[in-house]
Amino acid sequence: MTELKWIAVDWGTTHLRVWGMNASGIPLFHVRSDQRMGALEADAFEPTLMALIKAHVPDLDRKIDVIACGRVGALKGRADMPYCAVPCQPLAGGLTKLSSDQFNLNVISGLKQTQPFDLMQGEEVQIAGYLAGDKEFDGVVCLPGLHSKWVRVSAEEVVSFQTVMTGEMFDALSDHSVLQHSLAQTGLNEELFLETVSEGMAHPARLSSRLFSLHAESLLSGLSAEDVRTRLSGLLIGMELAATKPYWLGQKIVLIGDHDLSCLYAKALTEQGCMPIMVEAEDMIRNGLIAAYGAVVKIEGV
C-alpha cells in the first residue's frame, strides 16, 4: 500500500496543503506551502502543484487523480465554479472536472446562502471531515480565520452559516491604518485580551474610536505594542462574538482552526459560558478530502 493513488489538495487564500494518498486514504507524503492564491493566474496552478510534489513523485508517468478544495475553484481565468445552496450536506455541491494537462483535476464546490447572502469555499470540506467522525453532531461549527465562518449543523447538513471577516479586518487595520506604527507583530496578553473581548461585545459601535484612542495612548502614555495588538484582536473578536451570538448561545460548539487562533476563540467563548471542543483544521481537511474522494470512487464504481 505504498503506491500513490491520488492527491489531496487544499488551496486556500493563504496557504497550499498537499497530501499524496494511497488507495486506503493513508498519506504517503504531506507538503505545505504558504503560496497565496490572490496573485496566482489559472495557468500557474498545474506547474505550482507539480513543483511541490515532484520531490516525492519524481517519475509520475500518468495523469493522476487530484481532489482539490478552497479558492482554487475561483482562480482568475478559470470558469466560475458552481455553489450549492444550503441547507444541504457539506459536499452536496459535488466535484467539477477542470481541464488539466497533467492531472485528473476535480474541484469541490463551495456552498452559498441567499438570506443573508454568504459564501464558503473550502470550509465545507473541513465540516465534512469533522462529520466523518461524528455523524450525529448537532450544533455549531466555528472556523476562525481570515474569514471566520459560523455554521449551524444538524442531521449531517449545513443548515445556515455566517461569515465574519475578522482576520481580514485585523490585517487591514494592522498594516494600513495609523495603528501600524504602534502595533507588535506577535505576542498577546491573555488577561487583557479577555477584558477587551468583553468590551468589544458590549460596545461594538466604539471599535473605530477605540482604535484611534489606542494610537493616542501609545504616543501619550507608552501603551506597549503588544497591548495594542492584544486590544485590536480583543475588540474585533468581541465584535464577532456579539454579531454571532444567535449562533453560539446555548449551543454545542466545535472549533476547527489553527491551534493558536482556535485557543483564543476557545478562551473567549469559555468566558461566555460555552464549552467549545477544539479540533485541528489540517486533520479535518484531510478527512474531508478523503470523504470527497470516496464519493467519486463510489460514483465511478457504479
Residue 11 and residue 37 in contact, taking contact as beta carbons nearer than 8 Å: yes
Q: Which is nearer to a copy of itself, 147 or 286 (CB)?
A: 147
Q: Which is nearer to a copy of itself, 89 or 163 (CB)?
A: 163
Cell of 187: 505576542
Q: Which is nearer to a copy of itself, 156 or 168 (CB)?
A: 168
Cell of 93: 455541491
Calculate the CA dihedral of residues 130, 131, 135, 140 and round it to 10 degrees. 80
Q: Which is nearer to a copy of itself, 62 or 176 (CB)?
A: 176
Q: Which is nearer to a copy of itself, 1 or 205 (CB)?
A: 205
Residue 214 belongs to what H/E stretch? Answer: helix 207-221
For residue 218, what are the contacts with CB-CB under 8 A and spacing of at least 6? Answer: 182, 224, 225, 228
State yes or no: residue 56 binds a copy of itself (CB under 8 A). no
**How distant, in Å, are the alpha carbons of 65, 75, 133, 302 from that of 297?**
11, 26, 20, 9
State yes or no: residue 117 binds a copy of itself (CB under 8 A). yes
Please list every residue from 160 through 219 that binds a copy of itself, using CB under 8 A.
162-166, 168-169, 171-173, 175-178, 201, 204-209, 211-217, 219
Cell of 60: 509520475
Q: How far is the CB of 53 from a copy of itself (least distance, A)?
A: 29
Among positions 31, 36, 46, 118, the unique one binding a copy of itself when judged by CB under 8 A: 118
State yes or no: residue 221 binds a copy of itself (CB under 8 A). yes
For residue 284, what are the contacts with CB-CB under 8 A and spacing of at least 6? Answer: 125, 126, 127, 129, 130, 256
Q: How far is the CB of 96 from a copy of itself (least distance, A)?
A: 17
Q: How far is the CB of 15 from a copy of itself (least distance, A)?
A: 17
At 284 the three-state DSSP class reads: helix
Q: Which is nearer to a copy of itself, 28 or 74 (CB)?
A: 74
Residue 182 and residue 221 in contact, taking contact as beta carbons nearer than 8 Å: no
State yes or no: residue 272 binds a copy of itself (CB under 8 A). no
Among positions 2, 114, 185, 186, the unique one binding a copy of itself when judged by CB under 8 A: 114
Q: Which is nearer to a copy of itself, 171 or 258 (CB)?
A: 171
Strand 253-257 versus strand 139-143 pairing type:
parallel
State yes or no: residue 222 binds a copy of itself (CB under 8 A). no
Select from 186, 189, 179, 191 the least CA-distant residue to 219. Answer: 179
Please list every residue from 129 through 158 that binds a copy of itself, using CB under 8 A.
147
Longest dimension (CA), the chain: 71
Contact residues toward a copy of itself (CB under 8 A) are 83, 112-114, 116-119, 147, 162-166, 168-169, 171-173, 175-178, 201, 204-209, 211-217, 219-221, 236, 239-240, 242-244
